[in-house]
Each structure stands twice: as C-alpha cells, then as structure tokens.
Chain A
Amino acid sequence: MGSLLERASVSKTAFYSLVRKDDILPRSICSIASALDVSPLAFLEEDVEAIKARRLIKEADAIARAHPGLDRENVRHTLLMLSMEPIERLRRGLIRGRKIDIH
C-alpha cells in the first residue's frame, strides 16, 4: 500500500480520510445521476491512459513553470520515459534510432 500511495503521490492522511468517508462522490453528482436514472460512475468513466496523460501534462507544466529555460515537450517526454522501466526506455531509443538513421 505504501509504495502504491507513493507512486500515486497520495499521502497516508489523505488516503485514510478518503477511506473513512461514507461516499467519495460529491452529493450533487449522485443527485444528477439519480435524476437521470444512471449510475454516478457513468460520469467517471474515463480512459486510464487519458488520466495518466493528463497527470503527466500537469506535472510537465509545473516543472516547465519552475524552470523557464526548459522546453515543455522535452520535459513531458522525459517524464513519460521516467514512468517506464529502464529496459523499456532503452528499447524505445533503439527502435527510433534504427528506424531513422541520423548518423
């Protein structure tokens, strides 16, 4: 659990306060869902990859803001690489390198 929270950048305090709640969804969402006769989860359905990408963009923006000289795309790509295992990072570099001969 500890490593999961670390990866998600969620503190233990935040996690346990969430666990203690009866309902983690805002009451208004539940009311609208009820009026529409759908599950409140219908509003939450989103591609996991899209969530990850949005989080990555947000993190890249924060780093680029704190370091004005950095290229935002380079930052985003580096963060993307950092989310992979080293062997996967190397494979990506090799695949791109062998597809386009820059030498």
Chain B
Amino acid sequence: MAEKSIFTEKEIAFLRELIRQGVPFMIVGLAAAALQGAFVVTQDIDLWFADLGDPRIARALKKVGGSYIPPSHLSPPLFAGKSVELFDIVTAMHGLDEFGSEMKRAVDIPLGSVTVKAMPIERIIASKESTGRQKDLLALPVLKDAAATIKAKTKSKRRTRRKRSKS
C-alpha cells in the first residue's frame, strides 16, 4: 500500500471546496491517467480551469488557507500554501478542443469523499501526441498500453456481467 502522507485530506478539502463553489475544472495530465489506472509517475496534479479569473477559485483557496500567485513574465500562475502545493495550474491543453467540449467528455472519479472530473486517458494521449515534447512522447507507450488494458478489462467485466444476468 502506498504511503498515506501524500495526497491527504488537505488536498481533498481543496477539491471539495472547488466543487462546492461550483468551479468548472478537471484533473488532466498524468495524475488523471494514474487515477484511471495507468502506471505512471507524476510530481503534481494538474488542474485545468474553465476560467482562471473565476472569483470562486479564490474563495475555495481562502477556505483551505491557500493563495493564488498570478502569472508574471517569469513564471506561470501558481497556487501557494501547504494545502494546494501539489496542484499545478494548466492554462491550455495542446491539441485538444476548448474546455467546454473536453469537460463533456470528462470522466467521474471517486477520490476519497469527493467525486472529481478527470480527462479521459484517450484525450491525455491525444494531447501528449500533439505537443511533440520528449517527456510527453516518452510517456506515450505506457499510456497507450494502459488505455488498451482498461478497455479490455471493461469489456471482459461487461461480458461477465451479461453472462451472470443470463444464468
């Protein structure tokens, strides 16, 4: 079992607060892939927001003792504070549709006491393929094998369920 000292109730509290405030967002990148079953490593949890200027984000941050550092010419926008330091802000996803269309495809993932939206693994693959960056290309074989395995497993589960309902 993995150590429970990483991604604890404090991070979940932030996600819960974003949901409670009604902020449209989803988990993207390798964290989203890991949530769906891909055996990948990641340092952060990328969050893609419909509108980074949404005042409800600031309200959610305030509730958990975090703050927002706006982008400067030297750095991208950031979250600061113990409860939000694992999260990275994503402002655009390469090679994908706009936020609204991608949100319609998002999958629901139960995460502790909350259910969050995450980008489907197929869309993560599409985005990584379009960036052409070496670190993204390196992740592709594992992501593609994971997507195929998840599909095969889902199919076999459905088959078993059908068989069982017949018997």
Chain A contact residues, CB within 8 Å of chain B: 5-6, 9, 11-13, 63, 66-67, 69-71, 74-75, 77-82, 85-98, 100-103
Residue among A69, A75, A90, A103 making CB contact with B34, cutoff 8 Å: A90
Chain B contact residues, CB within 8 Å of chain A: 1-4, 6-7, 30-31, 34-45, 86, 109-112, 135, 141-142, 145-146, 148-150, 152-153, 157, 160-161, 163-164, 167
Residue among B35, B44, B45, B148 making CB contact with A89, cutoff 8 Å: B35
When distances are taken between beta carbons in the complex, the residues of chain B under 8 Å from A12 are 164, 167
Residue of A nearest to B163 (CB): A11
Please determine whether B7 and A81 come into contact, CB atoms closer than 8 angstroms: no
Residue of B nearest to A98 (CB): B43
Please determine whether A87 and B112 come into contact, CB atoms closer than 8 angstroms: yes
Please determine whether A63 and B43 come into contact, CB atoms closer than 8 angstroms: no
Please determine whether B167 and A86 come into contact, CB atoms closer than 8 angstroms: no
B151 to chain A, nearest CB (A): 9
Please determine whether A95 and B110 come into contact, CB atoms closer than 8 angstroms: no
Known: A67-B148, A98-B6; 15 extra A-B contacts, CB below 8 A, are A5-B164, A6-B164, A9-B160, A11-B164, A11-B167, A75-B149, A77-B39, A79-B149, A89-B34, A90-B34, A90-B45, A92-B34, A93-B39, A94-B45, A102-B41
A86-B110 in contact given A66-B152, A67-B148 (Cβ < 8 Å): yes
Please determine whether A63 and B149 come into contact, CB atoms closer than 8 angstroms: yes
Please determine whether A95 and B152 come into contact, CB atoms closer than 8 angstroms: no
Please determine whether B112 and A78 come into contact, CB atoms closer than 8 angstroms: no
Residue among A67, A71, A86 with the highest chain B CB neighbour number at 10 A? A86
